[in-house]
Amino acid sequence: MKATLTRRNFLRVSLGAIGATALAACAAPTGPQAGGAQPSTAQKELSFAWWTGGEAANKLFEEAVDHFEEQHPTYKINRISMPGAEFATKILTMYGSGNAPDAHGVGWGTVWSWAHKGILLDLTSFVERDASAVDWEGMWPAVTGGCYYPADKIIALPRESFGLMLHIYNKKIFADAGVETPDKAMDTDAWTWQAWREKAKALTKFDANGRREIMGANTGNADYWDLQVVMPSYGVPMFNKEQTHFNLDDEKVVNWLKMLPEMINVERSLGKPSETGEFDWGASGKQAIVQSATWNLPNMKETWQALDWDFVPPPKGDCCHANFVGSDYHVVNGSEYADREGGWELIKFLNSPKEDLWWALHFFGAPFRKSNVDAWSRELNNQLPKAGWKYSLAMTEKATPWTPIPFQDELNVILSNEIGQAVSGERPVDEVVASVSTKLDDMIKNFK
Amino acid sequence: MRTNSATNLFPSATHAQPKRKMSRMARQEELTGWLMAGPWIIGLILWTVGPFVAAGYLAFTDYDILSRANFVGFDNFERMLFADPLFWTALKVTSIYAVVSIPLQMALGLFLAILLNMRIRGLTLLRTIYYLPAVLSGVAVSLLWIWVFSADWGIINFVLSLVGITGPSWLSSEKWALPALITMSLWGVGSGLIIYLAGLQGVPTELYEAAEIDGAGRWPKFWQITLPMISPVLLFQLIIGIIGALQVFTEGYVMTEGGPNNATLFFLLYLWRNAFQFLKMGYASALAWAIFIYIMALTLLVLRSSAAWVFYIGEIKGRS
């Protein structure tokens, strides 16, 4: 008998195919095999995910995992690398579908909010069990501070402490203008925000038409990242004790904010964020002082090659020189299906002193282990002969950790929505601060 | 005369036909048709109907992807309507964008189409040039326009400076950011232009000839012949414009991040934030339904109003 395909049969077949496809899509995928090699029967498979910040950084991750596999032949790592911008969304979706990797990286801004969601393994007992290998006290408190959430639980190990903020200066511009370089002020304890402002003003140059030829300095957008350097320098904590109020409205912070529109619009010694974002004044030799971070040094090694430059820590407020450590983290999947022991072995290895130094030397970020700072700065001074490394120990010691809050994303959205208007002089600083503070208080109050 | 030609052009196809047994060839043709349409149908069910239904359920839940969705009744809708000022801000910003940009896009598209409908040299090249922006990536175009609107180096402020005007900081000004994005939306008139052009070329020339014999000038011909004859195209463009403008996302995401001070907080950007930044999937689903209902209501309103202003060549008012 000849079978004819009726419309109804076609729809049945189609729906069947859709169902099968949907089922297949829901099935747990097997991770990619690195190098196409099949694991031996004695090997345990472990999945590990990280985000890529470019090809060079990705190779470093691959190499770091290679080190682990060499030292632990019983493990075969399924490597999952994702573009940085999609990492958070993809990993959270993987958790949602019960398919998250055994261990993975987490950004500084999100580690507490992910811990708040309850997806990360509580590592406290693992740290206690392997106390000598982990050597918790051997890491900077600024780095380990971010590993606790809530305060009595360890939910992460530092991956890298790359967020030391630097004020990089172009020596030639200082020499041409006859202005003393910041290191002299640093050595006499006179490198303050006021000194920064005065130097920026003195170094800014205009042509006959009033167009800027040399930019004095830059600030970011007075975003959370920038404020992590400014607020502690005035002795102002980021939040009140209960973490119910962001201290943006502290008088000292407001005064610092009020300085920026004057520098941008009156003295014209600071570029607007849009100006400095569109053109690399620093690399073009047209900016005297550039605020940047250690993670940018690999790029600067190339783009600033022709320039004579050095760096100092950020200026001090009426309290101290503050710095900032935005350490990224490694965590273990807290789900029951995850290989928790294997995940812990992997991140413990990547956190070990030898791997920390290896990573810091290749990625330029400060090591998170105290014992590695000397070796790191000595070696970097060989690669980038800069006197600024002499401050590295003090910078690392005094660094302020990225303040742990579970509502980081919400805070950033509210702050960045308006703070730029204050900085650029579009709206009065007091008005913006009051508006942002009210909205933040409200958000924090209603945050679940 | 118009009645006859219209009837001939579009013969009625509504007469009831008795069911006939399909021939083998007809069955094969039908099968081929289904197979051709199959991938699209599967895609539609999996990626459009599925999420649509899922969002309908999730809108009544508190859901963050990671934990089980909790049924919360109408809480999300209640919050949206009565406790979330940003919902109304986003709706207002998006509506202003739509109300201003759609007529501007339609007017400019039609104007350019009329120019290109004249017999001028290099017409094909001009059409291609005008259409080109429509095929470019939204993100790339947005990045390009950030430069165009740059306060210090942008071409717009440069041109303004030539006539002694100091241009504003377009994208960082609460007052100018939305007008800047509306201006930018005109960049994409090329896609509509092609459709207007097709419509214009479908207008019978004998109508213009008859009008000329009656002594009609350019404006009367435009108002009395061109506009009525292309009114179905205008209706199509209006509906597509409403749907597109109310779903605008990329410009706000790439160029302004919804700021400054929510001046460009488009509805879909707000929805995206709730869904993928804050993981409030239940609330985001409720927002998705809100914008769907809004678009649907406006579309139905326009369709209903079309009886009063859209002229179909095959339809004579008062007759079936």
**Which tokens hold the place of A338?**
């995850």
Chain mean position to CA A277: 18
Which among B48, B70, B279, B283 is the top mutation candidate for probing chain A, defined by the most A β-carbons within 10 Å of its own β-carbon?
B279
- The domains spanning A37-162+326-400 and A165-325+407-446 adopt the same CATH topology: yes
Are the beta carbons of B46 and A22 separated by less than 8 Å?
A: yes
Sign of CA dihedral B11, B14, B15, B21: positive
Q: Which residues of B touch A4 (CB under 8 A)?
A: 27
Beta strands A44-52; A103-106: pairing state: parallel
- Element holding A148 (H helix, E strand): none
Res A25: pLDDT: 47
Q: What is the mean pLDDT of residues A379-388?
A: 86
Is the pLDDT at A344 greater than 90? The verdict is: yes
Res B74: pLDDT: 96
Res B29: pLDDT: 92
What would you report as the CA-atom Rg of chain B, rounded to the nearest whole angstrom? Answer: 25
Q: What is the mean pLDDT of residues B90-109?
A: 97
Rounded CA separation B102/B96 (Å): 10
Nearest residue on chain A to B24, alpha-carbon basis: A4
Which of A126-135, B94-103, B164-173, B286-295 is predicted with the least confidence, judged by mean pLDDT?
B164-173
**pLDDT confidence of B134, banded at 50, 70, 90?**
confident
Q: Which residues of B touch A21 (CB under 8 A)?
A: 42, 46
In A6-45, the residues whose Cβ lies within 8 Å of chain B are: 7, 10, 14, 17-18, 21-22
Is the pLDDT at A245 greater than 80? The verdict is: yes
Are the beta carbons of A118 and B66 separated by less than 8 Å?
A: yes
pTM reported for the whole predicted model: 0.82
Rounded CA separation A35/A25 (Å): 25
Q: Is B280 on the interface with A (CB under 8 A)?
A: no
Nearest CA to CA, how far is B171 from chain A (Å)?
9
Res B150: pLDDT: 87
Q: What is the mean pLDDT of residues A277-300?
A: 85
**Which tokens hold the place of A382?**
């060989």
Q: Which residues of A touch B32 (CB under 8 A)?
A: none
Is the pLDDT at A18 greater than 80? The verdict is: no
Question: Nearest to residue B263, comparing CAs of A427, A135, A75, A369?
Answer: A427
CB A348 within 8 A of CB A364: no
Res B313: pLDDT: 75
Question: Nearest to residue A173, comparing CAs of A69, A310, A64?
Answer: A310
- pLDDT tens, residue by residue, B44-62: 999 999 999 999 999 999 9
Nearest CA to CA, how far is B47 from chain A (Å)?
11
**pLDDT confidence of A34, banded at 50, 70, 90?**
very low
- What residue ranges do the domains of chain A occupy? 37-162+326-400, 165-325+407-446
Q: What is the mean pLDDT of residues A418-431?
A: 93
Is the pLDDT at B83 greater than 60? The verdict is: yes
Res A295: pLDDT: 75
A310 or A362, higher pLDDT: A310
Rounded CA separation A160/A143 (Å): 9
- pLDDT tens, residue by residue, B234-263: 999 999 999 999 999 999 999 999 989 999
A18 or A79, higher pLDDT: A79
CB A436 within 8 A of CB A254: no
Res B19: pLDDT: 62
Question: Nearest to residue A277, comparing CAs of B257, B186, B266, B187?
Answer: B257
Is the pLDDT at A83 greater than 90? The verdict is: no
Is the pLDDT at B3 greater than 50? The verdict is: no
Which of A70-79, A345-354, B190-199 is predicted with the least confidence, judged by mean pLDDT?
B190-199
User: Which residue type sits at B243?
Assistant: I
What are the φ and ψ backbone dihedral angles of A336, each rounded to 5 degrees? -65, -30
Q: Which residues of A touch B44 (CB under 8 A)?
A: none
Output the DSSP codes for B126-191: HHHHHHGGGGS-HHHHHHHHHHHT-TTT-HHHHHHHHTT-----GGG-TTTHHHHHHHHHGGGHHH
Q: How much is the mean pLDDT over chain B?
A: 89
Burial class (CB in 10 A: 0-12, 13-18, 19+), B47: exposed
Question: Nearest to residue A115, comparing CAs of A314, A331, A267, A301?
Answer: A331
Is the pLDDT at A325 greater than 90? The verdict is: no
Res A181: pLDDT: 96
Res A440: pLDDT: 96
Is the pLDDT at A114 greater than 50? The verdict is: yes
Are the beta carbons of B261 and A92 separated by less than 8 Å?
A: no
Res A364: pLDDT: 66
CB A315 within 8 A of CB A196: yes
Is the pLDDT at A35 greater than 90? The verdict is: no
Q: Which residues of B touch A87 (CB under 8 A)?
A: none
Is the pLDDT at B16 greater than 60? The verdict is: no
Nearest residue on chain A to B262, alpha-carbon basis: A417
Q: Which fold would CATH assign to domain A37-162+326-400?
A: D-Maltodextrin-Binding Protein; domain 2 (3.40.190)
A165 or A57, higher pLDDT: A165
Chain mean position to CA B258: 20
What would you report as the CA-atom Rg of chain A, rounded to the nearest whole angstrom? Answer: 25
Chain mean position to CA A46: 26
Is the pLDDT at B318 greater than 70? The verdict is: no
| CB nearest A5 (choices: B31, B66, B171) | B31
Q: Which residues of A touch B264 (CB under 8 A)?
A: none
Res A141: pLDDT: 83
Res A173: pLDDT: 97
DSSP-based three-state secondary structure for B99: helix
What are the φ and ψ backbone dihedral angles of A160, each rounded to 5 degrees? -160, 145
Q: How much is the mean pLDDT over chain A?
A: 86
Q: Which residues of A touch B277 (CB under 8 A)?
A: 409, 413
Winning range, highest mean pLDDT, from A90-94, B99-103, B170-174:
B99-103
Q: What is the mean pLDDT of residues A29-34?
A: 36
Are the beta carbons of B259 and A275 separated by less than 8 Å?
A: no
Q: Which fold would CATH assign to domain B85-136+185-309?
A: MetI-like fold (1.10.3720)
Q: Is B16 on the interface with A (CB under 8 A)?
A: no
Q: What is the mean pLDDT of residues A39-49?
A: 80
**Which tokens hold the place of A308?**
């004579």
B25 or A221, higher pLDDT: B25
Question: Nearest to residue A321, comparing CAs of A196, A409, A156?
Answer: A196
Nearest residue on chain A to B153, alpha-carbon basis: A275
Please tell me whether the peptide bond between A150 and the residue prior to it is cis, using omega within 30 degrees of 0.
yes
User: Which residue type sits at A314?
Assistant: P
- The number of residues in chain B equals 320
- pLDDT tens, residue by residue, A162-195: 678 899 999 999 999 999 999 999 989 999 999 9
Q: What percent of chain A shows pLDDT beyond 90?
A: 52
Burial class (CB in 10 A: 0-12, 13-18, 19+), A38: exposed
Is the pLDDT at B10 greater than 70? The verdict is: no
Rounded CA separation B107/A220 (Å): 41
Rounded CA separation A214/B197 (Å): 52
Q: List the A289-293 sheet strands across, edge first.
A: A289-293, A165-170, A309-312
Are the beta carbons of B258 and A417 separated by less than 8 Å?
A: yes
Rounded CA separation A96/B66 (Å): 4
CB A91 within 8 A of CB A48: no
Are the beta carbons of B172 and A426 separated by less than 8 Å?
A: yes
CATH class of A165-325+407-446: alpha beta
Which of A69-78, A285-294, B123-132, B256-265 is predicted with the least confidence, judged by mean pLDDT?
B123-132
Which of A255-259, B134-138, B279-283 is predicted with the least confidence, judged by mean pLDDT?
B134-138
What are the φ and ψ backbone dihedral angles of B314, each rounded to 5 degrees? -90, 5
Is the pLDDT at A155 greater than 70? The verdict is: yes
- Beta-carbon contacts below 8 Å between A and B: 86
Report DSSP state, residue A371.
G
Report the Cα–Cα distance between both ends of chain A, in Å, rounded.
65
